[in-house]
Structure formats: structure tokens, C-alpha cells
Structure 1
Amino acid sequence: MALVRATQQTSSSNTSRSCRYHVFLSFRGEDTRKTFTDHLFTALVNAGFRTFRDDDELERGEDIKPELQKAIKHSRTSVIVFSKDYASSRWCLDELVMILERKRTSPDYVVLPVFYDVDPSHVRKQTGSLARAFATHQKSQPPKKVKAWKDALAEVANLAGMVLQNQADGYESKFIKKIVNVIGDKLSRTTLSIAPNMIGMHSRVETINQWLQDGSTNVGILLIYGMSGIGKTTIAKFAYNSNFTRFEGSSFLENIKEISQQPNGLVQIQTQLLSDILNGRKMKISNVSEGLTKIEDAISSKRVLLVLDDVDHMDQLDAVLRMKDRFCPGSKIIITTRRARLLKAHQVTKVHAVETLHYKESLELFSWHAFGQDHPIEGYMEYSKKFVDHCRGLPLALKVLGSSLLGEGIDVWKSALDKLEVIPNDEIMNKLRVSYDSLQDDHDRNLFLHIACFFIEKDKDYIVNILDGCDFYTIVGIQNLIDRCLVSIDGKKVHMHDMIWRMGRQIVRLESDKPWKRRRVWQHKDAFNILTEKNVRKMSYMHTYMFFIYFPLGSLIVLEMQYSGLRQVFKGTK
């Protein structure tokens, strides 16, 4: 089969190296080959896009399917020109099915329907000239194939497309110019890098995709929240890659908390947002107020998908969302955060709490990092399960520990597991500690450490009874910990993820290698040894120490050591 291939002199820096073509043109040759499609093809080539179309000397009866599949596979976008007789060609319909199959397997693949002289509703419902074409197909083609064609037409007609009469008042040259601009816009926006082996990702992103594709004309805000290392950013990236081409503009602003703490950080965030929305055009911003004005101009005229990753404070949101009502109808905003109460309930359209991985998913993710495959190798299953149990479904821990054990012998695995029971992994602990460090004051930090050391799985009222007697404002403090995803309440009990309470106890251990120099002692053996006269004299009276001594019969004594001596602050039952 002869092919026409247009190649630009200098390849675009935004083009994926694995793609041979920027654009694959699908059209009904007898309708538009020498007219509209020829002009569109020429305009795309002149704009520098490598474009594929079949030659008009294609021999009838030749099997074109393998060549078309190859061309579609190696293109970044498909432009489908719908004309009145498009559906009369079974070649066009087969081609359409292939294009949509490519899109399902590659979320970043762009499909742009162009309705040249046919109404989108006729394509969606197969009425008008399409009804007559299908009446003919039903007489000669298998029912299963006809249904696949109809489903494909309905699916593609629901994508954001371009209509000649609506967007250029019937002027073809203006219409073609707009198509070229849209293709340039979409090709300039590339997918975000995501690590392979995204275990459990499809099920976790499904509801977010439905929300992004609901067709609402409202400006929607989705809050994705959860503890550190649970996969909030990865979920947001996956959803972004799957949907950004559906919007006229898009921006993924990563690590907002970190960037905002840099000099002029909020202005940096605003500058990046504008550059993304304006397809790389740089705009100088002197201050946050000026940035808000320029952002308002940029977002008021196009539907955008905006992701604000790792937001910690309202001032970070205000630098971008203060003018939320000015966003173009249909725009969507995703915010990832460790703070469950970052926004008020009435400000959010949808809330997505990220959950830990199930056991089977955890074992699979751990295996990919520890063995390079989806299951443990022979002889390592027992210890793999122990490490997975230790991680309790936290993706960060599964990846870090799995990677640290890659290629190691079973003796190293056993030793590493024993060490973890005493000394947690630093890389994991440092990332989890971000939430602890972000607590607003020492009161909440001390409350967190008390719960991590002494009150795991205890009744909330029981904790309040004890700690209120130790001059804590326990109820509001626990609520602040819930907001930071450091604790949760199930029924009446206070829960804390294993990795979180290990992090808390590690903070206490790092105060000193000598138990009597730490502020908290939670093991009764250590407490009894410290409270001997010899060790009490060793203690520094510059600090306050808390001892929770549990006795075998279930009684509990809480002692507090201050510069003035030892006092009992609580005595009761466990």
C-alpha cells in the first residue's frame, strides 16, 4: 500500500521518541480527500506536525488493517473527520474501532473528532445519513461487528470535538486554523512520569475518573487526603494523565508545600500555573496580587484541569483559588493534602480518602520491588509475608523495604526484619514525620507522642480522662491529629497506623540512648528500673518525664517527674 507521510525538518522537542507521527488522519476519502481533508493535511504539515494519511491510490480489496494498526500505534493523536458518508465505509468504521482501542490502552492518546458536515447527535445516535449506512451494513455484516461500530460512534461523539458550523460559522479556513491550534495545544502538554507497576491503581482512580468525566458545567473541587506515603500524589498523577486531554488547558503543580516555603514561593507557583495554561508562554509576576489578576484572565476563557499537590495551608490555596468563581464552567480542581479539614465541607464537591492497600496488593507491590516480579521467589515467601505484615498496606514502606532487600540473601532478610522491630527505617520515618512536624504547636506534638507511646487502640473517653488531668486539651488536640491523618476514630477507639506509632516512638527514642533521659517511658520494666533511687538521681530535672506503669492485674499509675520531684497524676484501671 502506498502511503503519504509528511515529515517536518526539525522534530518537536515535545514529541515522544516512541511515536513516529504527531497526527493520524481518519476520513472518508470519497467525501473530503481532495477538499477539506487535503487542506487540513497541508495545514498540519506546514505547522510542523508529522501526519499520516492513506494514499488515494489505495487498492480496493487490499488488507489495510496491519498497516493502519501500526500507524495508529505510532501516533500521538488521531483526528477523525466525520462527513455525511463516513459511516458508509466499513474501512472507516474499522479504523475508528482501532483508534478507540488505542485510546483505552494509552490514556494520554488524544482523539479529536471533527464534525465537518454532519451533526454530532447524528453520529452519537446513528440517525440521518448514518442510519441509512447502517441499514446497509446490517444486511451484509455480522451483528457483533455492527454493534461494535455503533458503540464506537457513540463513544467518540461524546468526546470533546469541533463542529464546523459552531466554531467557524462554516468558514473552512478559519476552522482548519482552529484545529491546528488545538492539536498544537494538546501535543504541547505531555503526560506525567509515573513509576511502573501501579498495583491497585485502576480501582482507586475509577471514581475520580467518573467525576472528571461527568460533564458537569459547575466548577468542581476534589480533595484527596490521607497519611504520608499512602499514594495521594500517584493517584492524582494517574487521574491527570487519563483526563488532561479532555480539557482545554491543564496544570499539575507538584510539591506546593515545599515550594511555598522558598523565597517568593507562591509567585513561583503562580508563574508555573500560567505557563502551563498558556502553553509555555512565560509571564512576569511581581507579587501574589498581580499573579491572581493574570490567572483570572487565563482561566476565565477555557475549561481547565488543575491539580494542586501537597497543599498544607489555606494561603497556598488562596494564591491560586481565591477567584474560584472566575474559573470557566466545567473546570475541575484536584487538591492532595494530609489535612482532612483543609477546606470547609461546602467548598468541596467531592472528597476521596485514600486507603491502604489490601494484603494481596501489598504482597504484589513488595514483590515487584524486592524481586522484579509480581510474587516472591522460592524460599522467600515466609519472610516476604512478614515484611508485608510489618508495612500494613502502606505503599511507601512496601517500596522502600522491598527495594532495600533486592538481591540480598535470606540471612540479610532475617536480620533486617529483626532490626525493624527495634529501629525503624529512617527513609520511611523521615517522610512520615512531615505530618508530625507540621502540627501547629508543642501541645499537639506532645499529645501525639503520648498516644503513640501509651494509648494505641484505647477508648477516646479513657484517654481524655487521663490526659486532661495532665493539663492537656485532649478533645481539640485529638481532632487536630485526625485532621493531619495521624490518628483516626473507629467507634470510640483511637487508632493509629503501625508506621505512624513506630515513628512517634522513634522520635522519643532519639531523645537519648538512655531510657531515663527520655521524656516518656512506656515499658513498665524500664519505668521500674528508672524509679529506683539510684537512677532517679541520674535524671535531668530540666525536663518533665511521664511514666505509664501498667501492673499485671490491670491497674495503671501515671507518674510525672518534674524539677520539684515526683507526683502522681492518675491512678485507675487499665
Structure 2
Amino acid sequence: MAAPMSSSRDDRSRRGYEVFLNFRGPDTRLTIIDSLYNDMIRAGICTFKDNEELRFGEEIEGSLLQAINESRIYIPIFSKNYASSKWCLHELARIVELSKDNDEKVILPIFYDVDVDDVKLKTNLYWKALQKHKSDSENDLVKKWKKALKAVARIKGRNLKDHGIEMDEIMEQLDLVAFDVRFIAIHGMGGIGKTTLAKAVFRQISPQFSGAHLIKTRLHGKKVLIVLDDIDNRDQIMRLVGSTLRGKCQSTWKNVLSKLKKVMNEDVKKKLMISYEALDPNQQQIYLDIACFFINQEKTTAIKYWDAVFGYPTEIEVNILTRMSLIKIIDYDELWMHDQLRDLGRDIVHGKVATYV
């Protein structure tokens, strides 16, 4: 007789799954999969992860097939050994089949520690794995798997390959065996994944510390992990750390952090205004349009709009904004802008710019 199911699982089964995670367990289960799954559950998104939902007395094919069929969003996580798993490939082929010509089904691929070219079978990584499958699988089935891989590889996804290399470098620098103070600074422009990388390192090493919080009243003699995010000025960092470690109360610490954030934002915006004021009127208008309407939109579409508005070819204006690092052209020829530049533009439009000019 089958064991009774928990009410939470029954509820999820009745209302159906929203997201299906397709992944190779040994490669990703203890890293990205657990983090992604837990974050989705906390956000109230009903997500299927096969090891979580195996039911006694049922065939695994039945449970998986039901979850794939009813899910609306599919997240395949491509890792180095993904293509060696026939079941991963079976799932992917079914996902592609269901998503074809169905606007209600969405595939969001993540390239975890592989390149897009690996999934497109342009390298030996996945190609060799598929060649091995030919020895014990039907040729038509292997062709179906190849077609599915290539189809998903053409979809714009998230490339996290470099994070593995960066994590190894950070772990080496931290040297967790040593009992001393270590500072690691992750720096770079916004949007490149600094916070994502910091969170990944935090999740991996936090169980090894006595404390893993930003606020502690008693730190003496303990091995403690402190993470500070979105801090840019070294002097402000030392003041913040100093006030934290000198036994300040929690409310004082929060007030210092709030003030620090406000001062830094105002200082940054004043400097950004110098670049904005150096633009001619048409360039300023294009900058504001991007900040308000055209982030992550195709450059070609936006340029056609500005050509019509201004009555001349405006690509040269877009190129000027790019050279001034006010915008960036990213994958698929899309316009992109740093969050602070975006906020500055929107504040200008809303008439709030006078507060920090």
C-alpha cells in the first residue's frame, strides 16, 4: 500500500506545477538547483524537482510526465555531464515538443558550466556523449535529442559558466582553514553578477562559521562570516565595519547603513550628471527614452523610432552614448543601461534631479 502523501504535496499536485527543472543531479543538485528551487518555493512558485516529488507506488515516468505536461515554464540547466543522462535528454525532447507553437509554454535555459556552443554540438563535450548513446539507443531517438539540444541552445538564456571559475578563485583566497581575518572584494560594473556570485559563495561556506550574519553583538572568539553588498567607497566601508564591531545596537547599525546608502547614491548621481549635461539636446532625449522605455529592447526598432522623430539617421547618436559608456549594446543587439544611469534618467523625467545637482 502506498504511503500517505503530505497535505502540502497534495495541494501542489491538485493545483499543478508552474515550473519544471530539468537538470543532471550529480552536477548541480547541491549548488544551483537547491538554491533555485528553494528561492522559487519561498516566492510561492509551484516548482517540480524530481527527487523531491517521487511518490511511493508510482512509476517515475508517470510522475515526471505529468509534471512536464502541466508546467508552463521549463528551466533546463546545462552542465558538463548533462548529455550523458538519457533521462535529461528524454525530458528535454518532451519539453521542446510541448513548447513548439505554444505561446503559453516558455523555455528559460541556464548554461551552468558549459558554453552555448557545447549545447549546439559544435564542440566535443555533448557530441561525444550522444555518440555513446548510439550504441544502446535507437538512431532516431538520438537524432531527436540532438534536435532538441540545438533548438534550446538558440533560445536566449543565462550563462553562468564563469561563476564556477570565479568561485574557485575566491575559495582559494579565503583559505577557510586559516583562523584570521580575510577580506575579499568583488568589484565591477553593475549587472555582471557580483551579488549572484557572492550569494553562491555565501551558501557554500556559511555552514562552516559560528555566525553568518551582518549584525552580531558578541563576536570575540568566534569564526564569523560578514558579507557587505553594494558598498563602493573604502573609507565608508571601514567606518561601517568599525561601527558594527564596536558593539553598536542594531538600530544604530541600520541608521548608519541607510545614511551611507543615501550619501553614496547622491554622490554617484552628481558625477553622472556631468556626462548627461555634456550631451546635446537630441542625445539627452535618446538617453531619457532608453532609461524609460527601451532597456532590453532591440536597438534597430528604437533607432527607427528616433529617425522618425528627429528626421535624420540617429544611429550616430546611439554610438556616442555607447562610447560615453552611458549605454551598452548586449546580446541580440539589445539596448542596456546600468541601474544607476536608468534611475538618473527617470529622476530627470520626474523632475527630481534638482535634489542632487
- Range class of TM-score, shorter chain: 0.3 to 0.5
Richer in strand (by share): 1
Q: Which protein has greater RCO, CA pairs closer than 8 Å, 6+ apart? A: 2
TM-score normalized by structure 1?
A: 0.30
